[in-house]
Amino acid sequence: MDNDDQLDRLERSLITGRINRRAFIAGAVATGLVSSTSAQALADDLDQARITQDRNTRALKRAYDYVVVGAGSAGCALVGTLAKRDPSAQILLIEAGGWDKAESVNNPGLWFTNLGTERDWGDVAIPSPGVNNRAIPEHTGRVIGGGSSINATIWARPFKADLDHWAEESGDKRWGYRHGLELLKGAEDWQGKPNKKYRGTGGPVWVQPSADPLPLATAALDGMREVGLPVLEDLNGEREVTGNGFGYMNQIIKDGRRQSMARAFLYPVLKRDNVTVLANTQVNKVLLRGKTAVGVECVRNGRKRVFRARGEVILSTGGFNTPKLLMLSGIGKAAHLRDHNINVEVHAPEVGENVQDHILHGGCLYESPAPIQPRNSAANVSGYYKTDPSFELPDVSLVQIEIPYASEVIAAQYAPPPNTWALCAGLVAPKSRGTVRLASANPGKRPVVDMKFLSHPDDVAALERSIEIARSVAATAAMKPHVVREVAPGKTLVGAELANFVRNGATTYFHSSGACRMGKDDRAVVDAELRVNGVNNLRIADSTIMPRIVAVPTMPACVLIGLRMAELLTESRRAS
């Protein structure tokens, strides 16, 4: 363990009460990274956060101004921003998972080892015919920080076309690119080449270009240039407007450690009296009086508890849990609720509809002449391309992965050797849409996730185009030193064979979105101010409100949703 790691561990141990202040200072000075004075200042800060949270959670109140459920990407951005902006507002943040202490959370190279652990809700989509009836896992984070604590750390901001579409769907131009860019720039602490037009510095989210990329990654970019793909110095910025561009990824990694949205937004407000974070507490129901949300019912330490909201309840529980929670609370399609003997409080026909995710194809595989030591989160180059300039969004996307990334079918069929890397085709603008339904009225049961992957023929065609381009990049002179042979598919596939390779290789990016669509029409689940239609004092801020999934990894879009919610709540409170 290096000294940075030691300091990081000490910080976490102090904040979660595992060591005392004296042990922290002694340990911090011993790392050689901080002087005794700055160790004391740091301890003051962390100690204060711990003392405040200890005190607040021991003296829980019956009612708070805001009850926010879910400390994920959006929830952390919301609470961190709101707590500062409105210090008089008492905020309760309830999270089902535990604190983000695990090494696999903090070390970005270990992100995938969180999958299938207690930090993952562990959903698996039911078999979809479009992927040859395979049941594909749909992981989501269950820990402080949510997805941002277990994800692949990629920071890719939405396209202009994504956000302008949201503005059109919601009827509110503040959801458009112009305002979205302003909010995301304000959130960023960009470490790459300065760019006033597109990038922000000094904000809470540490973002850096892939640190110290492998020659393999550099060669991939050279190969892309060779086949005529546009390679950019920064993968955020210009790409958002043109819809085209490849480059080194942006990542939320600082000194080799993950900077989750909990780290960015939540930790800095933990020492505020107006914030109480309840970890290891699962909300099972939103409580309604008539058509007004008045609080939540949850389970903490095996005991049922109720917390009231004087103001509003905000659900930030993510891709599958938000529709589930609404339905358990009697808000959903009436017939479906009745099937589970749940009282229909509000007939909301689209709760659990419109669900989307990106497809990552695993994949086109290449044997390297030498073993590969992956850098950062093992994926450092990616990009987007419109094969027809008239397309609104890119149909082609590629991600280079420095391990043999393959679906279970492709892995079994091609048996890639360990020193294999992948150039994965990505489907970032899917047309297929699925559903989330209750399996049972028992909150302990996971919902039925039917993603209907690749049910739209355009999705298969787009992946076929990406695969063709991936293979042409891997065949360039620039890539020659890194390719002993193409392991998969190993030959040019056409027609049904190619479609089958697409369907067998499909996996997801774990970007579940859209189950509680925002729109200006009556059927939409939330309106432009993210209020649940038909219910007072209940709003949603998470990936589920996307009318259409953004064509990039979803964490920054979720941060944007959290930031926008903080704006909306502050405006409402001022107006009242």
Residue 568 CA: distances (Å) to CA of 335, 531, 541: 33, 10, 11
* 323 contributes a contact to ligand FAD by CB under 6 A: no
Q: CB-hemisphere CA count at 13 Å for 23?
A: 12
Q: Among 27, 75, 245, 394, which residue interacts with ligand FAD (rule: CB under 6 A)?
A: 75
Annotated binding site for FAD: 143, 283
Q: Is 561 left (phi over 0), alpha (psi -120 to 50) or beta?
A: alpha
Q: CB-hemisphere CA count at 13 Å for 511?
A: 30
Nearest-approach distance from CB 574 to ligand FAD, in angstroms: 25
Nearest to ligand FAD of 94, 410 (CB atom): 94
Nearest-approach distance from CB 475 to ligand FAD, in angstroms: 28
Lookup: tokens for 573: 């409170």
Helices 36-58 & 3-15 angle (0-180, nearest 10): 30
Nearest to ligand FAD of 70, 547 (CB atom): 70
Q: Among 27, 47, 72, 246, which residue interacts with ligand FAD (rule: CB under 6 A)?
A: 72
Are 332 and 534 a contacting pair, CB within 8 Å?
A: no
Nearest-approach distance from CB 511 to ligand FAD, in angstroms: 5
What phi and psi values does residue 254 have, to the nearest 5 degrees? -125, 125
* 553 contributes a contact to ligand FAD by CB under 6 A: yes
Q: CB-hemisphere CA count at 13 Å for 267?
A: 22
* 345 contributes a contact to ligand FAD by CB under 6 A: no
Q: Using CB under 6 A as the criterion, what x/- string covers residues 145-174 for binding ligand FAD?
A: -xxx-xxxxx--------------------
Nearest to ligand FAD of 74, 337 (CB atom): 74
Region binding ligand FAD by CB under 6 A among candidate stretches 65-73, 82-90, 285-293, 472-480: 65-73
Distance CA 573, CA 433 (A): 36
Choose the catalytic residue: 165, 358, 361, 511. Answer: 511
H/E element, 396: strand 396-401
* 317 contributes a contact to ligand FAD by CB under 6 A: yes
Catalytic status, residue 511: yes
Distance CA 307, CA 57 (A): 13
Region binding ligand FAD by CB under 6 A among candidate stretches 139-147, 303-311, 393-401, 451-459: 139-147
Kindly identify the residues of this chain, within the stretch 11-30, that bind ligand FAD according to CB under 6 A.
none
DSSP H helices in 16-60:
21-30, 36-58
What phi and psi values does residue 166 have, to the nearest 5 degrees? -60, -40
Annotated binding site for substrate: 509
Kindly identify the residues of this chain, within the stretch 111-130, that bind ligand FAD according to CB under 6 A.
115
Find, among 502, 508, 507, 512, the residue nearest to 408 by Cα: 507
**Helix/strand/coil for 170:** helix
Region binding ligand FAD by CB under 6 A among candidate stretches 138-146, 215-223, 228-236, 477-485: 138-146
Nearest-approach distance from CB 24 to ligand FAD, in angstroms: 27
Which residue is at the shortest CB distance from ligand FAD? 72
Nearest-approach distance from CB 21 to ligand FAD, in angstroms: 29
Are 66 and 82 a contacting pair, CB within 8 Å?
A: yes
Give the footprint of ligand FAD on this chain (CB under 6 A): 69-75, 94-97, 115, 139-143, 146-148, 150-154, 282-283, 316-318, 321, 325, 510-511, 542-543, 553-556, 558
Active-site residue set? 511
